[in-house]
Amino acid sequence: MADSSPTEATGFRHRREIAVILQKFTNEESSQMNTQNLIDTASKLVASDKGLLAMDESNPTCNKRFAKLGIPQTVDARRAYRELIITTPCLGESISGVILYDETIRQQKKDGTPLIKVITDAGIIPGIKVDTGAKDLAGHPGEKITEGLDGLRDRLKEYFQMGARFAKWRAVIIVGDGIPSRGCIEANAQALARYAALCQEAGLVPVVEPEVLMDGAHTLERCREVTEEVLRTVFNQLYTQRVMLEGMILKPNMVLPGLTCLKQATVDEVADATVRCLLRAVPAAVPGIAFLSGGQSAELASARLNAMNVRFKSRLPWALAFSFARAIQQPALEIWQGKEAQVLAAQQALFHRAKCNRAARRGEYNAAMESIPQLAKIAA
Ligand code: 13P
């Protein structure tokens, strides 16, 4: 082939340079768009006093809860239960997002409608649990590390295409004699940060969940100390991994004494200890903190969230919301018991818990709300 003339060569070079510049602009534009979408989704998840409903129990966990109530542990029973939850009338009044499990995001309603469509049609944002569970941490007896980073980039891409717009990863921190260790806290914090960075790259808002468990006899003060250390370490790692704080949600435990601690705390003591701890460790750029319930009773979880908002809401940089599983679902599950005839009553109980927690976000929840709808019991 003949050499190109100097003018042709220059023209080609210019076109290539322009193409590179245009590509750079396109990349910058799409990354700016991604950033804006993440910020918008994160703020929608905690807007209008709503919160998240975690319905992402893994199959073994869901089966364990079914077994206790004599519900068959089958794919179809899990599907029917998840259909019950998301078809609860007016759920979107109190719930901004639901967290699904891999099996559920691929399922359909009995009439064939994909569950994810039912969720988006209700004005609720679909999310997905992406960790693969807490395993024993080598060299650290009694401690856990959450796994699931291998292949995560591809899984996130698929979930985004399916319609998910946020994700969840739970780290488990156990309090006991001489634990948690620095090794456990750091390993889990780094995994959370790497997960969060991959989520943001894929256009999914990461819900970052480091859970300090309630099990044990430790005091409220010990829980505060551990929770603060865990959160500081998590935010250091999030910074190191370049996670954009405006485009994430933190899902922590409340600061509570261990379940078998002899000195239990009042609702206000829990509210004070929790908010004081969060103020020290959570940057103001984070739009929202959505608590897990961790095995508290449904009523106590609402009362404690309410107390935090009554006492501190006007002084806080972030929204204090909820991302409960058991504290929203448990009463409904106990009413349903796998029986078609109980679906409506179970939905009423679920709606009621969601509504109580929305009231708690406004600081308007009170015990009297609990005595109004004994609807569930009436229908049982
Ligand atoms: P609980 O509210 O039942 O603690 O569940 C929250 C959750 O999503 C755990 O990962």
**Among 354, 375, 362, which residue's Cα sits nearest to residue 122?**
354
**Cβ 247 vs Cβ 204: under 8 Å:** no
Q: How high is the pLDDT of residue 376?
A: 44
**Would the CB of 206 count as within 6 Å of ligand 1?**
no
Residue 317: the pLDDT is 98
pLDDT of res. 372: 60
Give the relative orientation of helices 326-336 and 343-362 as an angle to the nearest 10 degrees. 160
The one-letter amino acid at 311: R
* Tokens encoding 188: 């889990």
325 lines ligand 1 (CB under 6 A): yes
Ligand 1 centroid distance, CA of 104 (Å): 17
Q: Please report which confidence band the pLDDT of residue 67 belongs to, taking 50, 70 and 90 as the band edges.
A: very high
Decide whether any atom of ligand 1 lies within 6 Å of the 214 Cβ. Answer: no
- Mean pLDDT of the region 279-302: 98
pLDDT for 97 beyond 60: yes
CA angle 214, 205, 40 (to 5 degrees): 120
Cα Rg of the chain (Å, integer):
23
Taking the centre of ligand 1 as the mean of its atom positions, its distance from the CA of residue 149, in whole angstroms, is 20
Judged by average pLDDT, the poorest of 246-260, 295-309, 326-340, 361-375 is 361-375
Ligand 1 pocket, 170 CB below 6 A? yes
Nearest CA to ligand 1 atom 8: 54
CA distance linking residue 168 with residue 192, whole number of Å: 10
Locate all alpha helices (DSSP H) within the chain, ordered by sequence.
Answer: 6-45, 59-68, 75-86, 102-105, 115-121, 152-162, 182-201, 220-240, 267-281, 298-312, 326-336, 343-362, 368-371, 375-379
Cα–Cα dist 109/99, whole Å: 17
Report the residue among 326, 330, 333, 350 best suited for mutation to probe ligand 1: largest number of ligand atoms under 8 A from its CB.
Answer: 326
What pLDDT was estimated at residue 21?
84
Q: Nearest CA to 180 among 134, 145, 226? A: 226
At 24 the pLDDT is: 83
Ligand 1 site-directed mutation target among 324, 329, 333, most atoms within 8 Å of CB: 324
Banded model confidence at residue 58, pLDDT cuts 50, 70, 90: very high
Q: How far apart are CA 327 and CA 293, in angstroms?
A: 6
Q: Per mean pLDDT, which range of 26-40, 290-304, 346-360, 366-380 is the poorest?
A: 366-380
The whole-number pLDDT of residue 11 equals 73
Query: Average pLDDT, stretch 76-92?
Result: 98
Confidence grade of residue 8 (pLDDT, cut at 50, 70, 90)? low
Q: How far is the CA of 357 from the centre of ligand 1 (A)?
A: 15
Its sign, for the CA torsion 183, 205, 151, 116, is positive
pLDDT of residue 25: 80
The larger pLDDT score, comparing residue 311 to residue 27, is at: 311
Any atom of ligand 1 within 6 Å of the Cβ of 302 = no
Across the range 310-339, mean pLDDT stands at: 98
- Return left, alpha or beta for 135; rule: phi > 0 is left, psi -120 to 50 is alpha, else beta: beta
CA distances from 319 to 53, 63, 308, 324 (A): 16, 33, 11, 15
Q: How far is the CA of 326 from the centre of ligand 1 (A)?
A: 6
| pLDDT of 379 over the 60 cut | no
Residue nearest to atom 10 of ligand 1 (CA): 170
Q: Which of 180, 164, 123, 173 is nearest to 292 (CA)?
A: 173
Residue 50 has pLDDT above 80, yes or no: yes
Q: How far is the CA of 300 from the centre of ligand 1 (A)?
A: 15
Ligand 1 atom closest to 324 (CA): 2
Token duo for residue 342: 């109980």
**CB of 292 closer than 6 A to ligand 1?**
yes
Active site residues: 209, 251
198 lines ligand 1 (CB under 6 A): no
* Cβ(207) – ligand 1 distance below 6 Å: no
- Point out the least confidently predicted range of 118-127, 169-178, 364-373: 364-373
Residue 202 is classified by DSSP as T
pLDDT tens for residues 128-182?
A: 999 999 999 999 999 999 999 999 999 999 999 999 999 999 999 999 999 999 9
- DSSP 3-state assignment of 324? strand
Gap from CA of 207 to ligand 1 centroid (Å)? 12
380 has pLDDT over 60: no
The answer to whether 184 touches 224, Cβ cutoff 8 Å, is no
pLDDT band at 208 (very low <50, low <70, confident <90, very high): very high
Q: In sequence order, what are the beta bridge partners of 145?
A: 135
- Best mutation site among 211, 215, 292 for ligand 1, i.e. most ligand atoms within 8 A of its Cβ? 292
**What is the predicted pLDDT for the residue at 378?**
37
Task: Report d(CA 225, CA 270) in Å as an integer.
Answer: 14
CB atoms within 10 A of CB 64: 12
CA 225/CA 173 separation, integer angstroms: 13
CA–centroid distance, 266 to ligand 1, in Å, is 22
Residue 261 pLDDT > 50: yes
C-alpha closest to that of 235 among 291, 200, 189: 189
Residue 192 main-chain phi, psi, to 5 deg: -60, -40
Ligand 1 atom with the shortest distance to the CA of 99: 8
CA distance 172 to 371: 35
Q: Which protein residue's CA is at the shortest distance from atom 4 of ligand 1?
A: 294
Tell me which DSSP letter residue 340 carries: G
